[in-house]
């Protein structure tokens, strides 16, 4: 497949559809220099974007957390997604909405006089982890830590927060792993580079409190699914030494969906019945 800059199709950009190859920004855009950018990754199933409005609402909230007022309403963002899906004739696709500070009168840390821009692109994207979705992903342990919420706006889905994710995923891939798991600044289990994490022990589920990580929409959906099945869910701080006692593990995310994990560093997990059940149930839910 061609690179992401050289494809046929349309991208919605600042209120109108443009040819894919013409969807460009200036090299002096503020976001390129200072990471003033927020985004959403979403999946469209059978013509319907799962939790679409919640994603749009979170995008606007992320902008506010970065002191960056996005000049579109939820309804306008929803219409933009539908326009680009229709223009590219896609019913099963990945949808990327991104808003950023563009080029303007300011070229320094401050950028109040620069316009906030937005674009929506969509493309076909299969399983985020390839066959790991069925066999169980292998994760490295990242050397970086998820920072304190006093350091960064952890509730924002902001581009700059993914810097250590890219470095950690590259290091993991060099070791033959699909991804990496972070601990946070206190030493608690946090998340993977782009997905939340769950563990199973004695029929109950344990997952980190999102007090220093993004409270993912897929995470919230899966917790609801588990509780509806009468399964106890413990949202709590998880210490590294507890990993030996867990039997199953999975990741959740809009891109990752529900992906079983077979190994994290030296810790091993079975791809068990509850993991399979939740993965299958999630697949059915998003396609209803």
Beta bridge mates, 244: none
36 with 97: CB under 8 angstroms? no
**101 lies in the same domain as 197:** no
Q: State the CATH number of the domain containing residue 15.
A: 3.30.470.10
Average pLDDT for the chain: 96
- Identify the domain boundary among 105, 123, 141: 123
128 with 256: CB under 8 angstroms? yes
What is the pLDDT confidence band of residue 1, given thresholds at 50, 70 and 90?
low
**219 lies in the same domain as 145:** yes
Number of domains in the chain: 2
Return the closest-CA partner of residue 84 out of 185, 15, 180, 4: 15
CA separation for the pair 53, 107 (Å, rounded) = 33
**276 lies in the same domain as 151:** yes
Q: What is the pLDDT of residues 17-66, one digit of tens each?
A: 999 999 999 999 999 999 999 999 999 999 999 999 999 999 999 999 99
**39 lies in the same domain as 180:** no
pTM: 0.95
The verdict on residue 4 lying in a domain is no
Please give the pLDDT value at position 244.
97
**276 lies in the same domain as 145:** yes
**138 lies in the same domain as 116:** no
Domain interval for residue 78: 10-123
- Identify the domain boundary among 93, 123, 153: 123
State how far the alpha carbon of 218 is from the alpha carbons of 24, 156, 188, 189, 196, in Å.
Answer: 31, 16, 21, 18, 8
81 is catalytic: no
- Identify the domain boundary among 123, 145, 176: 123
**33 lies in the same domain as 54:** yes
**163 lies in the same domain as 258:** yes
**137 lies in the same domain as 280:** yes
Active-site residue, from 81, 133, 138, 157: 157
Query: Residue 67 CB: number of other CB atoms within 10 A?
Result: 11
CA separation for the pair 119, 100 (Å, rounded) = 9
Q: Which residue has the higher pLDDT, 219 or 1?
A: 219
Please give the pLDDT value at position 287.
94
Q: State the CATH number of the domain containing residue 268.
A: 3.20.10.10
Query: Which string of DSSP letters, residue by residue, matches 108-167?
Result: SS--TTSPEEEEEEEE----TTTTHHHH-EEEEEEEEEEPPTTTS-TTS-BGGGGHHHHH
Please give the pLDDT value at position 184.
98
The verdict on residue 104 lying in a domain is yes
Q: Is the pLDDT of residue 134 over 90?
A: no
Return the closest-CA partner of residue 93 out of 39, 38, 58, 47: 47
**212 lies in the same domain as 254:** yes
């Amino acid at each position: 497949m061609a690179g992401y800059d050289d494809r046929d199709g349309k991208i919605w950009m600042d209120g109108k559809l443009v040819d894919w190859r013409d969807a460009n920004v200036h090299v002096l855009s503020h976001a390129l220099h200072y990471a003033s950018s927020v985004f959403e990754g979403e999946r469209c199933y059978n013509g319907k974007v799962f939790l679409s409005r919640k994603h749009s609402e979170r995008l606007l909230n992320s902008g506010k957390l970065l002191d960056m007022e996005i000049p579109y309403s939820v309804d306008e963002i929803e219409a933009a997604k539908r326009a680009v899906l229709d223009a590219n004739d896609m019913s099963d696709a990945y949808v990327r909405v991104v808003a950023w500070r563009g080029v303007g009168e300011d070229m320094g840390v401050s950028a109040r006089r620069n316009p906030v821009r937005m674009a929506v692109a969509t493309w076909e994207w299969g399983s985020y982890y390839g066959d790991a979705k069925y066999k169980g992903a292998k994760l490295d342990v990242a050397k970086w830590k998820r920072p304190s919420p006093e350091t960064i706006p952890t509730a924002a889905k902001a581009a700059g927060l993914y810097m250590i994710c890219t470095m950690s995923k590259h290091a993991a891939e060099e070791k033959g792993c699909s991804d990496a798991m972070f601990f946070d600044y206190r030493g608690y289990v946090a998340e993977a580079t782009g997905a939340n994490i769950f563990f199973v022990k004695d029929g109950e589920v344990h997952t980190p409190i999102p007090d220093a990580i993004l409270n993912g929409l897929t995470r919230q959906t899966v917790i609801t699914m588990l509780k509806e099945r009468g399964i106890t869910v413990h949202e709590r701080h998880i210490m590294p030494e507890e990993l030996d006692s867990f039997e199953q593990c999975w990741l959740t995310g809009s891109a990752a969906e529900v992906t079983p994990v077979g190994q994290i560093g030296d810790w091993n997990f079975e791809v068990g019945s509850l993991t399979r059940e939740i993965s299958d149930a999630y697949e059915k839910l998003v396609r209803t």
